[in-house]
Amino acid sequence: MLAYPNIFVYVDASTRSMTRVALAARIASAQQCRMVGVCATYTPQPWFYRMHHAAECVQEDRDRRQREHERMRQRFESAIWERSVTAEWRMLEGEPVANMLKEVREAGLLVMGQTDENDNDSFVAPQFLESMMLEAGRPLLVVPYAGEFHSIGTRVLLAWDGGRECARALHDALPLLAGSRVHLLHANSAMRSLRVDATPAAHAVRLLRDVGAEVETEYVPAANDLAIGEMILSRAADTGADLIVMGAYGHSRFREITLGGVTRTILSSMTVPVLLGH
């Protein structure tokens, strides 16, 4: 049986944090694997400590963050105590992006939340989610900041364009896809429709059937990125999908991240969990 060796879940002080912890715990229980809660909270910039009464401010901030860390650890443990999973808690201090990347490269699957610009408690660093997606080298399951998700992987929308990223996402998702019903949406952006190395959808279908998935395939004409992104979301709703699997397109240069149009559309408008491979 295909299975992840472990599930990492990012925990923060946001109201939605325990929703993704509960989802990660269900996956870990089904996969019979170890679960790791990871927290990397926002660290004040150096100029903060140059202000008047700096020593007192530093101590107050350290005490506040320690109380917050303990509260998050307790919430994490309370959320998983009924699940028969082995779990551990890791608290990261220092630069959040670099430390988080260093930690999660151990992950079989990393679970994080969709960015919610209206929730200040979820902020840790600019483009934090995007950095994990493009730089961690691990499959990333992103959970929307609205909605409840009681199942995952029973009905799946797989976005396929025959490229490296979607092939990576498909293989990364296989432990969740065994025995599922998969709607394979074969859609190429206009810029990629003529690529000579595109793998036919039939190859993906064979792989899915090898793990016992029931597959239906839909081919759509080449379109622009926005149209494809909206089509993925629409088909996911039409088919009752509880999971979208797709490749993540983008690049990072000196921590300035640029996402592809389809990826950007999905991350901003997602309504079900999305597993991304890069």
Using one digit for the tens of pLDDT, what is the confidence trace for 27-49? 999 999 999 999 987 666 555 55
Say if CB 104 and CB 110 are below 8 A apart: yes
Q: Which CATH architecture has domain 6-143?
A: 3-Layer(aba) Sandwich (3.40)
CA distances from 211 to 6, 179, 208, 240 (A): 20, 7, 5, 21
Separation between Cα atoms, residue 109 and residue 243, nearest integer Å: 14
> How far from each other are the two terminal CA atoms of the chain, in whole angstroms?
24
User: How many angstroms separate the CA atoms of 186 and 267, rounded?
Assistant: 20
Q: 155-277: which CATH architecture?
A: 3-Layer(aba) Sandwich (3.40)
Give percent of the chain above pLDDT 70: 88
Q: Output the tens digit of pLDDT for each of the chain's 278 residues.
A: 689 999 999 999 888 899 999 999 999 999 999 999 999 876 665 555 555 666 676 677 777 778 888 888 988 988 888 777 889 999 998 889 999 999 999 999 999 999 998 888 888 888 999 999 999 999 999 999 999 998 999 999 999 999 999 999 999 999 999 999 999 999 876 555 556 788 999 999 999 999 999 999 999 876 777 788 999 999 999 999 999 999 988 876 655 677 788 899 999 999 999 999 98
Q: Residue 253: its pLDDT value, please?
A: 61
For 190-203, letters b (16+ CB in 10 Å) and e give eebeeeeebeebee
Judge contact between 65 and 87, C-beta under 8 A.
no
Q: Which of 262, 241, 165, 167 is nearest to 208 (CA)?
A: 167
Per-domain boundaries in the chain: 6-143, 155-277
Q: What is the pLDDT of residues 209-246, one digit of tens each?
A: 999 999 999 998 767 777 889 999 999 999 999 999 99
Token readout for 160 is 């396929």
* The two domains 6-143 and 155-277 share their CATH topology (first three levels equal): yes
